[in-house]
Amino acid sequence: MKTPSIGALALGIVPFVAMCFTVPLWDRVQPLVLGLPFNLFWLILWILLTPCCLWGAYRLQSTADRPASRDP
Amino acid sequence: MTPAATALTVIIAIVAIGTVVGFLAGSSQKMDLEQWTVGGRGFGTVLVFLLMAGEIYTTFAFLGVSGWAYSRGGPVLYVLAYLSLGYTASFFILPQLWELGRKHRLQTQPDFFNSRYGNRYLAGFVCVVGILAFIPYLQLQLDGVGIIVSVASFGHIGRVPAMAVAAALVVAFVFANGIRAVAWVSVVKDFLMIIAAVAIGVGIPLAHFGGIAPMFAALAHARPQQLTMPGATTNLGHSWYISTVLLTALGFYMWPHTFSAAFTARSADTLRRNAIVMPLYTLTLALVFFAGFATVLILPHLNNGDLALLTVVRRTFPAWFLGVIGGAGALTAMVPAAILILTAATLFAKNLYRPIFAPAMSDDGVARLARGMVVLLGATSLGLAIHCSSTLVSLLLTGYAMVTQCFPGVVLGLYWKRVTSPAVFIGMIVGVLTAVVLMSMRLDPLWGLNAGFVALCINFIVTLAATLATPARASAAAAELT
């Protein structure tokens, strides 16, 4: 069984920090961005950025797995 | 025809067409839970995107989210965060589960607990927790149908008869083996839901304010406090948001029907790739937020927020279109209800009753017992839906408070060889009891935190402490976790 590497885990934590723990920093109405309240805009932005973080984690994971997969 | 008759006729026609499509397709296509949740893999990219985006529109998302945007305001934003973060968490959990599942031929969530901890009583308890968590989830679906029919009939048909008919239909659906057909019913429903979501998310702000941006500008001017936390509430602030997002994101794959999806994927890599793209599907959910927030200014004095979306649809669109949305909504409630009820009944008979009380029971006996459970669960949820009124979002959060108590057992079981069966068992019992006590005493939120999250923390602490206090006894499965 392959445990995720530290780098992959760190990339996985990023969306949690951005969308969950930092809520007091971005939970406001102003400025309206693209017509949306700032908090709604921020969450939608991070819905788009979360796949980027996970893709990074996926790349780290597959490079880490490659040497291991040569073992019988 | 009166508007009520038009709307109801369209709803009945859509439910009838959906059911017939289901029964016809049922004979040729084998349908199980996993196929329903992962959709048809053979379809093209655009079609798959539409179908997956359509699946985001459950009764909860459609009526519940817009209802909370209307009645609570800002706190409903937790929904946008938890779906994305649920997939993020799954990236690190499901592939590991898949590996273990392949080694030990696991099929269900209790199977995992039985194999990892070698304790059928613990597995049975996980079953009980899963079934308990399903009951508010089922109640949510029935409530949804009741709301749809009563709004579409302009109040002529009450919620109670509508829910009773829906419950009877769901049980009949399951008995007639119609569950196999759910894939095609889902296709019909998903397309209708996408059309409905665009119509309401874009159409309602456009009709009343001239667009989405002017709508938010008007709301930011008139009721800015509605758009941030705690919104229209006094106790759903930032600490509630953080604790609720964590509880629901970590619990997202702990439901018996979502958990088992990990075992049927083609490879661990498939699960990782799915986790990467899945957050994108939740983008379209923003449309429901637009409609819910628009209703705050259009119809400021509704006393039940869950009625907000359909009432504003009734005000904005012709009656036949209310019927289309109502019909899609009714299918959206009944299809998952059928799947939940069948999963719960099967888990009860196969993973709880037979291994613990009647090891000699035949497969036919299990099937009969499961059918009895289908009726019992349908009746229980109907009874609760009639007697306990709660918002749709609160119902789902109650379910999460239960089901997330499985999380420590799953994650520690996957990543920590030392964790023992008695420790996980005691932790789960304490967690479930804490959640039940806090919620029945109306202590949710507690100190500004989601009560289910408080229970989860206690569960974690008890599990860790009990593990360190007992001698390590690695089970066979744990030994392979290297």
- pLDDT tens digits, one per residue of B66-109: 888 888 888 889 998 998 899 899 888 888 888 888 888 777 88
- Of A17, A36, A41, A26, the closest CA to residue B249 belongs to A17
Query: What pLDDT does A41 receive?
Result: 93
The Cα B209–Cα A14 span in angstroms is: 37
Q: Measured between beta carbons, which residues in chain B are less than 8 angstroms from residue A68?
A: none
- Of A12, A19, A65, A8, the closest CA to residue A42 belongs to A19
The C-alpha of A7 sits at a distance from chain B's nearest C-alpha, in angstroms, of: 12
pLDDT at A69 over 50: no
Residue B354 covered by a domain = yes
- Flag if A40 and B84 touch (Cβ within 8 Å): no
- What three-state secondary structure class fits B236? coil
Question: Which residues have C-beta within 8 Å of that of residue A8, sequence separation ≥ 6?
Answer: A57, A58, A60, A61, A64, B92
The Cα B398–Cα B391 span in angstroms is: 11
Candidate from A20, A32, A53 with C-beta closest to B242? A20
**Contact status, residue B37 vs residue B257, Cβ threshold 8 Å:** yes
Q: Is the interface score ipTM higher than 0.90?
A: no
Q: Measured between beta carbons, which residues in chain A are less than 8 angstroms from residue B81?
A: 19-20, 43, 46
- Domain of residue B172: give its range: 3-406
Query: What pLDDT does A49 receive?
Result: 93
User: What sign results for the dihedral spanned by CA atoms B429, B434, B435, B440?
Assistant: positive
Percent of chain A with pLDDT over 70: 85
Give the best residue of A19, A21, A49 to mutate against chain B (max B CB count within 10 A).
A19
Question: Which residues have C-beta within 8 Å of that of residue A6, sequence separation ≥ 6?
Answer: none
- Of B473, B201, B430, B469, the closest CA to residue B325 belongs to B201
Query: Residue B433 is encoded by which pair of tokens?
Result: 């009891």
The Cα A56–Cα A7 span in angstroms is: 9
Residue B59 covered by a domain = yes
The C-alpha of A9 sits at a distance from chain B's nearest C-alpha, in angstroms, of: 8
The residue to which tokens 């009773």 are assigned: B164
Residue type, B31: M
- What three-state secondary structure class fits A5? coil
Candidate from B224, B286, B481 with C-beta closest to A1? B481
Relative orientation angle of helices A38-69 and A6-16, to the nearest 10 degrees: 170
**Contact status, residue A40 vs residue B79, Cβ threshold 8 Å:** no
- Of B326, B72, B43, the closest CA to residue B199 belongs to B326
Give the best residue of A21, A29, A61 to mutate against chain B (max B CB count within 10 A).
A29
- Flag if A32 and B229 touch (Cβ within 8 Å): no
Q: Measured between beta carbons, which residues in chain B are less than 8 angstroms from residue A15?
A: 84-85, 88
Query: Residue B340 is encoded by which pair of tokens?
Result: 């939940």
Residue type, B207: A
The C-alpha of B386 sits at a distance from chain A's nearest C-alpha, in angstroms, of: 35
Residue B480 covered by a domain = no
Residue B425 covered by a domain = no
Q: Measured between beta carbons, which residues in chain B are less than 8 angstroms from residue A43?
A: 77, 80-81
Residue B83 covered by a domain = yes
Model confidence at A71, pLDDT cuts 50, 70, 90, reads very low
User: What sign results for the dihedral spanned by CA atoms B132, B133, B138, B144?
Assistant: positive
Q: Measured between beta carbons, which residues in chain A are less than 8 angstroms from residue B213?
A: 32, 34-36
Residue B365 covered by a domain = yes
Candidate from B228, B242, B277 with C-beta closest to A21? B242
SS3 content of chain A, % helix, strand, coil (to 5): 70, 5, 25
Residue ranges of chain B whose pLDDT lies below 70 = 22-57, 175-185, 261, 264, 471-482
Residue B280 covered by a domain = yes
> Does the bond joining B445 to the residue before it have cis omega, within 30 degrees of 0?
yes
The C-alpha of B289 sits at a distance from chain A's nearest C-alpha, in angstroms, of: 9
CATH of the domain at B236: 1.20.1730.10
Question: Which residues have C-beta within 8 Å of that of residue A22, sequence separation ≥ 6?
Answer: none
Query: What pLDDT does B39 receive?
Result: 41
Which chain A residue has the Cα nearest residue B229?
A: A27
H or E element: which one contains B290?
helix B286-298
- Flag if A48 and B280 touch (Cβ within 8 Å): yes
Candidate from A36, A40, A58 with C-beta closest to B276? A58
A:B CB pairs within 8 Å: 118
**Contact status, residue B68 vs residue B292, Cβ threshold 8 Å:** yes
Burial of B92 by CB count in 10 Å (0-12 exposed, 13-18 middle, 19+ buried)?
buried
pLDDT at A67 over 60: no
The Cα A64–Cα A15 span in angstroms is: 22
The residue to which tokens 């017992």 are assigned: B369
Give the count of domains, chain B. 1
Residue B468 covered by a domain = no
Query: What pLDDT does A50 receive?
Result: 92
Query: Residue B184 is encoded by which pair of tokens?
Result: 């095609």
Q: Measured between beta carbons, which residues in chain A are less than 8 angstroms from residue B216?
A: 32, 35-37
